[in-house]
Each structure stands twice: as C-alpha cells, then as structure tokens.
Amino acid sequence: MKLVKLFSFIAPVAFFAGCQPATEDNAWLKHALDTSVSQLRLTAEEIDASGLMPRSIHKGHDVSFLERQLEMDRSLFQDSLRAQPVPEAVGTRRLCKIYDWTSGFFPGSLWYAYELTGNEEMKAQAINFTEKLNPVRHYDGTHDLGFMINCSYGNALRLSPADTIPAVLIETADNLISRFNPEIGAIRSWDFGPWNFPVIIDNMMNLDLLFEATRLTGDPKYQAVALRHADKTMPNHFRPDYTSWHVVSYNNDGTVELKQTFQGKNDDSAWARGQAWGVYGYTSCYRVSKDPKYLDFARHIADMIMSRVQTEDAIPYWDYDAPVTDETPRDASAAAVTASALFELSTMVEDGQRYFDYAEKIIKSLSSPAYLAKPGENAGFILLHSTGSLHHGSEIDVPLNYADYYYLEALQRYMKLKGLSYAEL
C-alpha cells in the first residue's frame, strides 16, 4: 500500500497544459480545495489534544442488508457482522491510535492541502500531526508502514525538508524489509489469522517507501525487495482477466497455499479497492524501474477497471460482483486511488489521454455534491460514501481518511498536469 513522491511530469505537463481551454471553468476545483482546507482545519483543531488520528465515523448497519449484499444467510455470519456501535457513538468521529494502519493519511492530507493551496496553517498542522507518528519508526508489526510513514514523513521531506526526516524513512524501510522472506519472495502482510504466509494486494502500495529508501541511501536492496515482491504478486494474485484476489497465502517453499478474500464479497469476486491498489502499485513499479512489464501490467489492470466499472459517475460499487440495487454502497476510496494512479499512468503511454479523461471524470464526480461534504459536516472528513470492509460489517458508506488522502493526491496530480495553480482558480 503506499505513498508516492513527486514524479516527473516535464513533457506530459506541457502536453496536457497545452490542451486546456482558456475559458475552462475551474470553479468546481477551487470549491473542492476550499472545502478540503475547511474540513481539515476543523478536524485538526478538534482532535489535536487527543493524540489520535481521524479514521472514519461510527455507523451501524442492518444485518438483512448485509445478507443481501453478501448473498449469504446470516446463520453463516461471523460475530463481527452482528456487532453494532453503542447508540451514543453513531455519527461521531472514529479516531485511531498512531499504530493503526491508517494513521498516516491525515497528516498526508494536510501536506497535500498545503501544497495545493499554499495555506501556511495547513503546513503547521501537517508538521504537528506528522511528528505525532515518530514512534512508528520503531514498529515492525505490519506491512502498512508505507501508508503510515511515507504518507506523512515522505510528504514532509518533499514539501518541508529537514535533516531528521530521512532517518525516519530509512529506519521504517528497514523494518518493512525485515518482513521479506527470500525463499517465498514476498513481504508478509499480516501476523494474525489462519494463514501460513499471507500477502494482500494492498501490500503493493507500501513498495513506494522502499523505492524512496533506495533513493535516499543509494542502496539498491530496498528497491530489489520491492520489485521481487511485485514479481511474486503478478502471477499469483491476478486472474486471466486482470482482476485480483485479495489474499494469497504461501507455503514455506513459495508455492500457493490458498487464494481468498478478506474484505470482498467472496473469494472469487473483484473487491473494488483491491483493483485500485493493483493499478497504483504497478504504475509505481514502472516509474522507478522503467521495466515495461510493469507498465504493461498496469495498463491491463487499468483497462479492466475502465471496462468493469459501469456506474455513470465512474465511482465503483464496493465490489465489482456485488448485487447492484439502490442500496449497494459505493467506494469513493477505490475511485480516488484509481484516479491518482491513472493520472500518473497517463504520462507514461502514448494513448495516455484516455486514462487522463477517465481519471478527470472520477475527480469531478468526487468533487460534486454527491460525494463532497459540505463544510462543517461529515465529522470533518472531505468525501462521503466510502466502504471499508462490508465483509466485516465495518465502515459501510462512511467517510474514510484514505479516501480523502488519495482524492487530494489526485487533485495535486491533476493540477500539475493541467498547469494550474490555486491562485489562478
């Protein structure tokens, strides 16, 4: 799972900027940015003293609804699917500790808000919340260290360099590669559950931390581990149609133990956010390695996404194989990750305009009243209508901090490609 540094857009920027009509109305974009700053400011002020990070909101669910979406009798449900928040918590902000896998997204959102608008208050808050994550540099209990540290400290290094930041990134990268098993050829994702050696598609996003560590140190070992992981994932996680399983567990000799889902509808379905993680991860691999196999693979996944998502606004349902009714939840987080990835992918191929156009459609949909929160509402989050893990009855049709993060990253990439600045909007 990841975080991307400022990639090079030199030639593509000129191309896309040249295509921008002089009369183009960017009022939607300014509104989106102003709303984002307003929501982030509200959240930062309200939670600063807690020492915690905003993750989502507390929300209950109807078990009959889960039966219909999972197409499963409730007698087969795990206890978590029946669990409900206490009534007084419903609708309130859900906070998390710094060791939660999502802890880096709020600081990262603050950094992007600063970059996009030049708002110095956003910078001050970004520094404040990034520093809260410093103890994570000593943690090795998850593969999600890229999300936690590269989103926060990685963007800090890019936008407000300090001598102390590289050490945090390198130490965290060392902890991440300690989870790599050379016999299997992959980084272990989880330390819980019944699996022998579980690897989830989300892990592709954390490889950017390793790419950054090689850039900072000149030591190729970090990048080598990342690409070996990508190479192991490519033949085992993906079906012939380029949809992805969520979880692949390996035997100690590197053979596959099993393939299944943990958050999708069922083992053979295409969980929406998992598909987004895949296209993002392989696009990053090509950016660093320039190996065309990664570019070809990213294009195949992108083409699959564009053909499988049939919604008019390009915001996918939570799983591509979920039964589609008026109650089927969308996943704005999957859409935001996809948009960010496709903006980058559009700069790498001759027919990149079609990827750009699709990503632009996504972010304009996310910036519409259907998905963009009203200032002061939505518990201070930017986007509405994401789905964390319907399979576990968790975070269904709620805001999510990583949806906000990748939405802002997508806006940053969009504005860079269009040659836009906040002052000109």
Q: Which of 79, 100, 140, 144 is catalytic?
A: 144
Whole-number Å distance between alpha carbons of 379 and 401? 11
Read off the tokens for 254: 């590197």
Instruction: Write the secondary structure of the chain as one string of H (helix), E (strand) and C (coil).
Output: CCCCCCCCCHHHHHHHHHCCCCCCCCHHHHHHHHHHHHHHHHHHHHHHHHCCEEEEECCCCCHHHHHHHHCCCHHHCCHHHCCCCCHHHCCCEEEECCCCCCCCHHHHHHHHHHHHHCCHHHHHHHHHHHHCCHHHHHCCCCCCHHHHHHHHHHHHHHHCCCCCHHHHHHHHHHHHHCCEECCCCEECCCCCCCCCCEEEHHHHHHHHHHHHHHHHHCCCHHHHHHHHHHHHHHHHHECCCCCECCEEEECCCCCEEEEECCCCCCCCCCEHHHHHHHHHHHHHHHHHHCCHHHHHHHHHHHHHHHHHCCCCCCCCECECCCCCCCCCCECHHHHHHHHHHHHHHCCCCCCHHHHHHHHHHHHHHHCCCCCECCCCCHHHCCECCEEEEHHHCEEEEECCHHHHHHHHHHHHHHHHHHCCCHHHC
Give the angle 152-157-160 at the CA atoms, nearest 5°. 100
Evaluate whether 12 touches 414 at the Cβ level (below 8 Å): no
Q: Which of 34, 73, 100, 202 is catalytic?
A: 202
Evaluate whether 276 touches 263 at the Cβ level (below 8 Å): no
Whole-number Å distance between alpha carbons of 353 and 325? 32
Q: Is 144 a catalytic residue?
A: yes
Q: Is 202 a catalytic residue?
A: yes
Listed residue (129, 61, 127, 139) closest to 100, CA to CA: 139
Evaluate whether 225 touches 192 at the Cβ level (below 8 Å): no
Please list the active-site residues.
144, 202
